[in-house]
Structure formats: structure tokens, C-alpha cells
Amino acid sequence: MYPDEFDYYNADGVDDALDLLDEHSEAGTTELLAGGHSLLPAMKTGLSSPDVLIDISDIETMQGISADGDGLSIGAMTRYSDLVDSEEVAEHAPALAAAAGQVGDVQVRNRGTIGGNLAHADPAADLPGAALASDATLVVHGPDGEREIPADEFFFGMYTTDVGPDELLTRIEIPSADGAHGAYAKKPSPSSGYAMVGVAALLDTDDDGITAARIGANGVMDHGVRLSPVEDALTDGSLDGDTIEAAANRAGDDLDVDMMMSDLQASNEFRAQLLEVYTERALTAAIEDGSSSVAAD
């Protein structure tokens, strides 16, 4: 309930945050504070005890959503609730919009941020799958300036990403879905609300059927993954239940069940089962409703 003592700094810009990171790199553990909804609970129960907290949530240049013809640029400190409310996100990144609406609860969505979610890389978080499905590029600032990381290369494993200790995820760029159908289907843990399995789907369609598909899943492996066999099975397929079902049945084809997450909430075998069902639900939702999210109680 009571965090251990630490020093708190409120960074007023990206450079300031990087300087603070550098300055305290010797001081012990330093953590960046975004929405705080993973970090503060961990600190309150003693699982995390940083010496220094650098609050980046107020950094002006890391806020907000901007859209141009090619896509979206989303500041890393943009809150989930802003993603949910944004017409631009709904239009250009429908899978992300759907997934953001499924994160935690209202209070969490009012504080938690897209950047915090992705950089923390909790395997059961809701946004990694959507970032993968949306073909997001994650922009990172470090001492040597800016670099861009495709979502496909961003997640390394449980709580580990390509962001270095002296770096900062500052924004997320997403190419416009351009009329594609997006959805996110999630089986939440009844206690924590985190995804036992979450599947984000983005489908390009024309009159003949599906022209391209990007499917990302979280909660299944130790980091967000693309479901390539499903994508392959869908591409150039027709928009009917049989195609979807056949594709969904391939959701686990590239994944080793033994390596799937297995915990108190769900065993790896059950996750493998849920993955197929929720892939089908995500695909069905994407096609039937254009853009939506599905969650079971």
C-alpha cells in the first residue's frame, strides 16, 4: 500500500527527460512514470522500488493525436480515453481504437497511456496486438537522437522491448487503415481485466473479398505476436464464415503451445483454444460490424 521512498522529477520536455535519465543512471533504479497504472501498483506492493521516478506524462510534445493523409501520429503520453474518443483513431486505426476501449476500466483509461502500455510490454496488455495489426512504427528518442522501430521488431519478450535504458518512446506512427475493417476481441481475466487472450485484426477488403490481413495477438505468448498463418489464410479469401473459420483454426500454427503463457488465469492449452475462438470472433466482428470490439465477461 505504501511505496518506498524515491525522488520524483517532472520532466518538462523530451530532452529534459533524457538528461534526467542520464543524470540518474548511476543513482540506482530509475523508472519513467507515464500513466502509472502498472508502475504504481507494483511500487505499492513492494514489487518495484525505484530510487528515482521521472514523470514524463506532462511532456507537451508527447501528447495528442494528429492525422494527415498518410496516417496518424500519436504522442506516447496520449491517454487511452483520448484514443477511444478520437474520430481520427477510429478512422485510421480502427483496431487500435477498439483495443484501447478494452484496456482496464474507465479510470485506468483516463490515466494510462499508449506509450506506457507499449513500452512496458506486459504480455497481457491490450495494445501490442493492435500495434502489430496496425503496422505501427514506434519512435524512440535517445542520446543520439531519434530512431524508428517497426512494431514487428519492437517487442522482445516479457516486459522487454527494443527501447534502451537511456531512451524514451515518444510517439507512435500508424499508416492509415484507409477503409480497412478493424476489430479487437478479448478474453479478459475476470479479476485483473488483463487479456488472457486478445486478438486485433485489420482486414482490407474489396468486392471480391479480403485483399490483405494483419492480425496481432497479445496475452498468448510472452510478447505480442503476429498470426501470420491466419493472415495468409485470409488473404485473397472470400468474406464468408468458412474462410474465417478456416483461417482462425490456424491461429496457433506458428506458435509453440509449450511456450504459451500459463498462469493462474489460464493454462497454455486453454489459451491455445481461446486463441482460435477469439481470432474467429475478431475476424467476424471486423467484417460484420466494420469496426468494433468484443469482450466476454
Partner 1 sequence: MTEHDIELSVNGTTHELTVESRTLLVHALRDELGYTGTNVGCESSTCGACTVHLDGDAVKSCTLLAVQADGAEIGTVEGLAEDGSYAPIQEGFQKEHGLQCGYCTPGMMLAADDLLERNPDPDEDEIREAIEGNLCRCTGYQNIVNAVEFAANEMGETASPEMTAADGGGDD
Partner 2 sequence: MGIETIEADDLDVESVLGSAVERREDPSLITGEAEYTDDIQRPNMAHMSVLRSQYGHATINGVDTSDAEAMDGVIGVYTADDLDVPGEVPTGWLLDSLKTPAHPLLAGETARYQGDGIAVAVAEERYIASDAVDAIDVDYDRRDAVTDPKEAVNEGAPVVHDDLDDNTAFDWEIGDADETDAAFDEAAHTAEIDLTNQRLIPNAMEPRATVAEYKPGTEELEVHMTSQNPHLHRQLMSGVLDVPEHKLHIVAPNVGGGFGNKIGHYPDEALASWCAKETERPVKWTATRSESYLTGTHGRDHVTHGELAMDEKGVITGMRVKTYAGMGAYLSTFAPAVPTYLYGTLLSGQYDIPAIHCNVVGAFTNSAPVDAYRGAGRPEALYAVERMITLGAREMGMDPAEFRRQNFVPSDDFPHQTPVAVEYDSGDYEPALDKALEAVGYDDLRERQEELREEGRYLGIGFSSYIEACGLAPSELAGQLGAQAGLWESGLVRVHPTGKVTAFCGTSGHGQGHETTYAQIVSDELGIPYDDIEIVEGDTDEIPQGMGTYGSRSAAVGGSALATSSQKVVEKAKKIAAHQLEASEEDIEFENGEFAVAGAPERSMHIQDVAAQSYLAHDMPDGIEPGLEETSFYDPDNFVFPFGTHIAVVEVDPDTGEIEFENYVAVDDVGPQINPKIVEGQVHGGVAQGIGQALYEGAEYDDNAQLVTGSMQDYTVPKAEHIPTMETDSTVTPSPHNPLGVKGVGEAGTIAAPQAVVNAVTDALQPFDVDHIDMPLTGEAVWRAVNDAPDAGAEGGDEAIADGSGIDEDGGEN
Q: Which stretches of the chain bind partner 1, using CB under 8 A?
A: 1-8, 10, 33, 36-37, 40-41, 43-45, 53, 55, 57, 81, 84, 101, 104-108, 110-111, 191-193, 289, 292-293
Residues in the chain: 297
| C-beta of 154 vs 194, nearer to partner 1 | 194
Judged by beta carbon distances under 5 to 8 A according to partner kind, the member of partner 2, partner 1, none in contact with residue 276 is partner 2
178 is a contact residue toward partner 2 (CB under 8 A): no
Question: Which residues neighbour 191 within 8 Å (Cβ) at sequence distance 6 or greater?
Answer: 265
Burial tier of 189 (Cβ tally within 10 Å: 0-12, 13-18, 19+): middle
117 burial via Cβ count (<10 Å: 0-12, 13-18, 19+): buried
Q: Could you give the string, one character per residue 135-174, with x where binding to partner 2 holds by CB under 8 A and - elsewhere?
A: ----------------------------------------
Please say which residue, 40 or 149, places its beta carbon nearer to partner 1.
40
Q: What is the DSSP letter of 254?
A: T
Binds partner 2 (CB under 8 A): choice among 25, 29, 45, 107: 45
* Bridge pairing between strands 137-142 and 145-150: antiparallel
Which DSSP state fits 27?
S
Specify the residue, 150 or 190, whose C-beta has the smaller distance to partner 2.
190
Site for partner 2 contains 8 (CB under 8 A): no
CB 94 within 8 A of CB 130: no
Q: Give the position of cell 493454462.
A: 267
Binding residues (CB under 8 A) for partner 2: these are 1-2, 4-5, 41, 45-46, 187, 190-192, 241-242, 245, 249, 264, 266-267, 270, 273-274, 276-277, 280-281, 284, 296-297
